[in-house]
Structure 1
Amino acid sequence: MPIDELLEKAGRYLKKEEIDLVEEAYLFAEEAHQGQTRKSGEEYIFHPVAVAGILADLQMDATTLTAAILHDVVEDTGVTLEDVSKAFGDTVAQIVDGLTKLKKRMKYKSTAEHQAENHRKMFVAMAQDIRVILIKLADRLHNMRTLKYLPESKRRRIAQETLEIFAPLAHRLGISRIKWELEDVALRNLNPQQYYRIVNLMKKKRAEREQYLDEVIATLQERLEQMNLKAEISGRPKHIYSIYRKMVKDHKQFNEIYDLLAVRVIVHSIRDCYAVLGIIHTIWKPMPGRFKDYIAMPKTNMYQSLHTTVIGPKGEPIEVQIRTSEMHRIAEYGIAAHWAYKEGSSQSERSSFNDKLKFFREILELQQDTNDAQEFVENLKMDWFSDAVFVFTPKGDVLELPSGSVPLDFAYRIHTEVGNRCIGAKVNNKIVPLDHQLKTGDIVEILTSKHSYGPSRDWLNLVKSSQARNKIRNWFKKERREESVSKGQEMIESALKKQDFDPGNILNGDRVKEVANKFNFPDETDMFAAVGYGGISASQVVNRLTEGMRTDEEKPLVLPDVKAMPKRRKKPGYGVRVKGVDNLLVRLSRCCNPVPGDEIRGFVTQGRGVSVHRADCPNLSTVEEGRMVPVEWEGVADHFYNVDLEVSGLDRNGLLNEVLHAVSETRVNLSAVSGKADRRGMATIHMSISIRNVSHLQSVVDKIKSVRDIYSVRRIMQ
């Protein structure tokens, strides 16, 4: 988009001095990006101007357009945030900072961790200023429009990320016009065969559908005029991705989907909405169970409308949406349509508006409760971007919860103390167990007691939402702090003794405070507590405490528990031995299924020998350091090992068969397989296979990844 076109578009609603600010930002960015080009070959400056153009279509304010034009200058040029702040003010600089990716020179374990940190930074910045995510959505939309210039692998990765994060986020914010395009372009890049198949099928019967639509509109228009109701009536086809998702979800072919069209009726008042609904139901028979009143019960993204599906002419179903013009504006533009960042709104008004959106507050709450960036993003996907149920409080308020939620999730959504004091629940006026799964429409009442002992650790396995899970964990951190501090210090001392270090000398010196600070704890007491409740392992702390203290010659390992065990005949060890000790019973843990090539650790169990785990198994964090023993692989040539895999991809007919065929070609034994699909059209396949080692496993994974529409294959832990 040329800058003149952007200025002309923005000039329709901005003042002259605001247009001057946008033009000044353009000149600043043009100089900063001088000599840079995109993969398409065009000058880089065209991209930020196009992003600002998308936001001008939403009639965003001058500050937003300015930040949009500058959104890449800090990340991709020599310009600093201080330069931006000096030229355009602190607000613009803060927005640009929220859009700037973290530098790769920082130490990350993986690309996924780096990406997760970037997403977390963006979400937290969004929670503080909504304009951050509006610019990011416009940025992603323009990048999706120009995706064809990138290699296929990168196109697929970006398209997948768009479906998982950015399209659901646009939906959450009610910006349907951006959501629809993101979904359709993502599908075109992930599954072009299905995309163009649907496009071609829709083209074939376009004339027939348009004629049918004209007939419906004419009939309705005539009846409304007879009743002196003024309305704007239009028809539109369903979007490609929504049709595809319906085919996948309902297991139907294209010709089995009847409601491909929707009629939209826009009127002046809410009263007129219900009047039009009554007239429609007198003309055509409504389909049972297909009426939704989003005016009385708005969606969490502020969407309001009446939806009904009727049996139209020729006996074909057709969906009708009825709303006011203001509701329609919000349906199209969502949060961007609100007055919050328009001229004349005060800071207090903006804060009040943000307070209405619990989504933002809960993002900040989640950020405080979750240290790991990847866990933060996964929790956000689970709580906000997945399937949901809508339940009622006894007073009639509606709460949205992740699908599969139980009464405890409801209790903690109401208030932390309601959850902590929960002793039972009623659903639809009947007592239910705490693991009862809630359904849309349920009326939920939480039973509490001031004399409750607090949460049970078992609750962590019952709740579905990360919000509830984090609140339960925080209770144990706070209420059992002294116990955790004592337990953590004991575990660290035991681990130090195991390595022949004197705990008294090390834990009483300045070294322990330095290590606590390295782990971002204010003092050693907080670090001990974290070890006690499982937030960090004792071995991690000991490794930091003893850095530089080890000698080249390894000291003998002291295993008092092992020495006390009676000698027994050598048992099968699955190709694993305990270093320095013979004739020990060894078993591989089923929770993480280690295989030769994995880094492994073992610990002495009570009466069951040594349990061997992958070094990254989370269950090791609960094991006392004094029971850990060094283990290694040996003599594994004749053994086979079980591995559980999770395969993710775009759901389509024949996908499971193709995956199983790929596995069969590797000649591995498949002992179990199951699959499911969600309403976004994503498929998840779980399978158990037997392999010899990590290299053998990798060959199987590579074969599965070669199947079309497969995005990821990963090992899972129980």
Structure 2
Amino acid sequence: MDISRYDDFRASVRSGFSARTQQAVDEALAWAAERLGGELRYDGSPMLDHAVAVASIVISEVGLGRNSAVASILHDVVRLAHKRLSAAEFLALTDEIRARFGEEVVGITVGLANISALRLKVAKEQADNFRDLIVSYSEDPRVILIKLADRLEVMRSLDIFPREKRRKKSWEAMNLYAQIAHKLGLYSIKSELEDIALKYLEPKDYEHIVAKLEESADERRAFIARFLVPVEERLKKLGIKYHIKSRTKSIFSIWTKMQKQHVPFEGVYDIFALRIIIDCPREEEKQLCWTAYSVVTDFYTPNPKRMRDWISIPKSNGYESLHTTVSAEGRWVEVQIRTERMDAVAERGIAAHWRYKGVNQGAQTSEMWLGRLRELMEDTTHSLAQRFDAKPASGEIFVFTPNGDLRKLPEGAALLDFAFDIHTSLGATCVGGKVNGRPSSIRDVLHNGDIVEIQTSKNQTPKADWLSVVVTSKARNKIKSFLREEQAKHTRMGREELERKLKNWK
């Protein structure tokens, strides 16, 4: 397969990376092209187009480096091999990748293949568990970032998929991946995932909001121009270097507000925000942001309840900005004040710290960022936090029923625990089952992501030695209660038998 169709991508790698990275990327392209030769997407284009588009997002929009770009290019080769090859053949393939591209690339691609193998079920109440499960497969934080880029590329080309797949992928994008992107401070990815998902899940609402935004665009522009006249005059007089962006609220955010507050489009008052972005050295950031804030509030009355200072105390995901909402011409306007550096971080997540102002994306800087990302995931109290070890550190595993329902069990849980977790009668009559299609005994310990089928027999009853098999309190209590009932039944029967005998002997 001719890789010259990816010349634009190769040119972007050349412009931002070392010769060594260019060479690794070219080698990965040639190797993947050979293995994905006949594989096509739904629209008939080569499968490799998707992998290259993901790699492009990974370096230009997420801000990752060489190993991530190479892993993105190879991820479909590994995903298909994971699905189709025997264990021995798959091992041989990963050994070849290790020899050519290194250990890290293997780790990332296998993590991605594990996530792709998950059978996600569209159910609101399962979303948190699925999010945690996805992150639990990401021993290396780059896995989750590339997975987000992968899903973003899929959403951008969603039209090529069959109708039922569009809805499923949209639901996952909105409820799983956008939430993870938000957690990592990747706001532009989060908003784009949500907007595209809404377009397919609620097409009428989406079109209505788009039409309303277009209708009111001219009036909005005229209002912004009037609003900014005095502010810009004063900022120039003070000699502050700045530029202004006006940002319309994302379609998904407007829709959410309309749903929550039961208001029409016209009832959403903060449709847009103005962003004053100051260009200054790091040591002057705080002082100049507050100066700009005082300029805005000299001309317009602020709403004290809507003041947010994330410059003195940044958000845990690195977000820094001053937010205020002021009143002008009888309407509320949100004004965000930040510096160029803060704006880059807000748009692109923590990656931007290290790419800002031409900081070279070397191994050192990406290590610093990934280190910070690990800290971020560990600092937070949400259970997502504890999942960057090889296994979920909170001691939980996630196991599937054959029809895709997800159950959370403690680490070390056996097949018998799973049976009792689903239903007491299933546990009580369990004789074994199948794990990932292979026969399994009641004692077999389950692992993260296993698909478990239970087999029962009406002659089976709980045994005392089952107590040494199970680890969940639910299973333990049910077995004990059954054994107590059995004992009481035997005692009663023995008593009746003895009474009958005594009667006969008079």
Q: TM-score range by the shorter chain?
A: 0.7 to 0.9
- Is contact 2:115-2:137 (8 Å) kept? no
Equivalent residue, structure 1, for 2:6: 3
Counterparts of 1:109 and 1:167, CA distance in 2: 15
Distance 1:527 1:327, change over 3 A: farther
Q: 31, 35, 50: which one pairs with 2:34?
A: 31
- Is contact 1:175-1:336 (8 Å) kept? no
Q: 356, 367, 372: which one pairs with 1:353?
A: 372
Equivalent residue, structure 1, for 2:108: 95
Q: 359, 362, 377: which one pairs with 2:386?
A: 362
Equivalent residue, structure 1, for 2:330: 315
- Is contact 1:217-1:234 (8 Å) kept? no
1:244 pairs with 2:255:
yes
Q: 53, 59, 64: which one pairs with 1:60?
A: 64
User: Any residues of structure 2 matched to 1:46-445 within 5 Å, and which?
Assistant: 46-58=49-61, 59-77=63-81, 80-101=93-114, 122-126=134-138, 128-267=139-278, 268=280, 269-312=285-328, 314-339=329-354, 342-345=361-364, 349=368, 352-357=371-376, 358=378, 359=380, 361-364=385-388, 366-373=392-399
Secondary structure at the aligned position of 1:342 is classed as: coil
Equivalent residue, structure 2, for 1:630: none
- Is contact 1:29-1:45 (8 Å) kept? yes
Counterparts of 2:341 and 2:491, CA distance in 1: 74
Distance 1:533 1:557, change over 3 A: closer
Return the offset for 1:125.
3.8
Q: 516, 522, 534: which one pairs with 2:473?
A: 534
* Higher-RCO chain (CA-CA 8 Å, sequence separation at least 6): 2
Distance 1:206 1:337, change over 3 A: same
Return the offset for 1:342.
3.5
Secondary structure at the aligned position of 1:40 is classed as: coil
Taking structure 2 as the reference length, the TM-score comes to 0.73
Amino acid at match of 1:257: V
Counterparts of 1:48 and 1:351, CA distance in 2: 22
Counterparts of 2:170 and 2:54, CA distance in 1: 18
Distance 1:5 1:103, change over 3 A: closer
Deviations 1:254-308 (A, max 9, x none): 0112221110011121211111111111110012301111112222221111111
Equivalent residue, structure 2, for 1:665: none
Secondary structure at the aligned position of 2:333 is classed as: strand
Secondary structure at the aligned position of 2:247 is classed as: strand
Amino acid at match of 2:12: K
Unaligned runs of 5+ in 1: 381-465, 478-494, 500-513, 542-555, 567-718
- Is contact 2:122-2:171 (8 Å) kept? no
Counterparts of 2:442 and 2:332, CA distance in 1: 65
Amino acid at match of 2:224: L
Return the offset for 1:558.
9.7
Distance 1:308 1:87, change over 3 A: same
Secondary structure at the aligned position of 2:228 is classed as: helix
Secondary structure at the aligned position of 2:244 is classed as: strand
Return the offset for 1:11.
2.1
Distance 1:241 1:49, change over 3 A: same
Return the offset for 1:109.
12
- Is contact 2:198-2:206 (8 Å) kept? yes
Counterparts of 2:317 and 2:23, CA distance in 1: 34
Deviations 1:16-38 (A, max 9, x none): 22111111111111111101110
- Is contact 1:160-1:190 (8 Å) kept? yes
Equivalent residue, structure 1, for 2:25: 22
User: Any residues of structure 2 matched to 1:447-596 within 5 Å, and which?
Assistant: 518-519=444-445, 528=467, 531=470, 534=473, 536=475, 559-560=489-490
Counterparts of 1:537 and 1:101, CA distance in 2: 32
Distance 1:169 1:65, change over 3 A: same
Secondary structure at the aligned position of 1:70 is classed as: helix
Secondary structure at the aligned position of 1:11 is classed as: helix
Equivalent residue, structure 2, for 1:430: none
Secondary structure at the aligned position of 2:17 is classed as: coil
Equivalent residue, structure 2, for 1:623: none
58-67 or 19-28, which deviates more: 58-67
- Is contact 2:131-2:180 (8 Å) kept? no
Secondary structure at the aligned position of 2:72 is classed as: helix
Return the offset for 1:367.
4.8
Return the offset for 1:515.
6.0
Return the offset for 1:10.
2.1
Return the offset for 1:239.
1.0
Amino acid at match of 1:124: S
Distance 1:151 1:558, change over 3 A: farther
Deviations 1:545-604 (A, max 9, x none): xxxxxxxxxxx99944887999xxxxxxxxxxxxxxxxxxxxxxxxxxxxxxxxxxxxxx
> Normalized per residue, which structure has more helix?
2
Return the offset for 1:344.
4.3
- Is contact 1:2-1:49 (8 Å) kept? no
Counterparts of 2:193 and 2:183, CA distance in 1: 14
The count of residues paired between Structure 1 and Structure 2 equals 421
Counterparts of 1:317 and 1:12, CA distance in 2: 43
- Is contact 2:374-2:388 (8 Å) kept? no
Counterparts of 1:259 and 1:202, CA distance in 2: 13
Secondary structure at the aligned position of 2:75 is classed as: coil
Secondary structure at the aligned position of 1:278 is classed as: helix
Distance 1:332 1:25, change over 3 A: same
Counterparts of 1:228 and 1:378, CA distance in 2: 61
Unaligned runs of 5+ in 2: 413-424, 430-439, 448-463, 481-485, 497-506
Secondary structure at the aligned position of 1:37 is classed as: coil
Secondary structure at the aligned position of 1:45 is classed as: helix
Deviations 1:527-550 (A, max 9, x none): 746647526458899xxxxxxxxx
- Is contact 1:305-1:322 (8 Å) kept? yes
Distance 1:94 1:206, change over 3 A: same
Equivalent residue, structure 2, for 1:667: none
Deviations 1:74-101 (A, max 9, x none): 1214672222112111111111011003
Distance 1:102 1:226, change over 3 A: closer
Counterparts of 1:124 and 1:535, CA distance in 2: 25
Return the offset for 1:226.
1.8
Amino acid at match of 1:272: L
Taking structure 1 as the reference length, the TM-score comes to 0.52
Counterparts of 1:185 and 1:256, CA distance in 2: 23
Amino acid at match of 2:20: E
Secondary structure at the aligned position of 2:221 is classed as: helix
Distance 1:274 1:301, change over 3 A: same
